[in-house]
Amino acid sequence: MGLIRSWRRRRILSRTRIDPALWQRVTAGLPFLRGLGAEELARLRDLAILFLAEKEMHGAQGLELTDEARLSIAVQACLPVLNLGLDWYEGWIGVIVYPGEFRVRKEEMDEHGVVHTIDEGLSGEAWPGGPVVLSWQDASMSETGYNVVIHEFAHKLHMLRGDDEGFPAPAPGMDAAAWRDALERAYARFCAEVDSGAPTIVDDYAAEHPAEFFAVMSETFFTDSAILARDYPQLYAQLAQFYRQDPAGVLPASGARA
């Protein structure tokens, strides 16, 4: 299957081109890509082509997805796996895009065993074995420290190779104990800061669950890397090994590789 998949991907890349003007518009609208070199951008473009070929992307509530919107989502989704490979997104095929915030109804049980029905608005959601759901209004934002696409696709990484506590398994070659220790220590520190009312570098929502902490810190790793490297250096170093990238450029030459 691996040989067949590789052959198909080579064939897709040999037959597919992205209009240079379209590529320029999309990448110019994503300022966190500015640190990538020409070779990295070329690989990111190839990954985006393969992503669009292998995943199904549909608009909801009448949203018609333009080529620019589809490519923007694909590029943002592929950035975390730039040096990991698209196989980290295996096991599902769908991306559903709403015009803006979408509402979901959930049932949650409180500590007394009472089930409550909650209706809430979301900007993104990832389902185990199912699609990634996004708000285009949020996916098209380029705010520092916030990226709903990276957030939801970080959840997909955990869902593929993670544990019940919310942290993904380390990438091959990483020190599993150091990875786990860095995540647990950083999460405990962040939760303590939230409980104390101290200012935090990211939204308090990251304290909700270890999986949310990983996803939010992944957003920060790619879109506000210098702040994360400054305030959480141990966590940053481990995320750099996990993603095999060093967007802040603060590690030794071999430090961003597992």
**161-258: CATH superfamily:** Collagenase (Catalytic Domain) (3.40.390.10)
- State the pairing for strand pair 94-98/102-109: unpaired
| Fold equal for 2-160 and 161-258 | no
Token pair 């902490």 in the structure block, residue: 213
Q: Rounded to an integer, what distance in angstroms lies between the CA atom of residue 105 and that of residue 20?
A: 42
Domain boundaries, the chain: 2-160, 161-258
Provide the whole-model pTM: 0.90
Provide the CA 257 distance to its chain's centre, in angstroms: 19
Q: Rounded to an integer, what distance in angstroms lies between the CA atom of residue 5 and that of residue 127?
A: 24
Task: Give the pLDDT confidence of 194-245 residue by residue, as tens digits.
Answer: 999 999 999 999 999 999 999 999 999 999 999 999 999 999 999 999 999 9
Q: Out of 1.10.132.50, 1.10.10.1100, 3.40.718.10, 1.10.472.150, which CATH number does the structure's domain 2-160 have?
A: 1.10.472.150
Task: Give the pLDDT confidence of 40-97 residue by residue, as tens digits.
Answer: 999 999 999 999 999 999 999 999 999 999 999 999 999 999 999 999 999 999 999 9
How does DSSP classify residue 40?
Answer: H
CA distances from 114 to 102, 104, 105, 106 (A): 26, 20, 16, 14
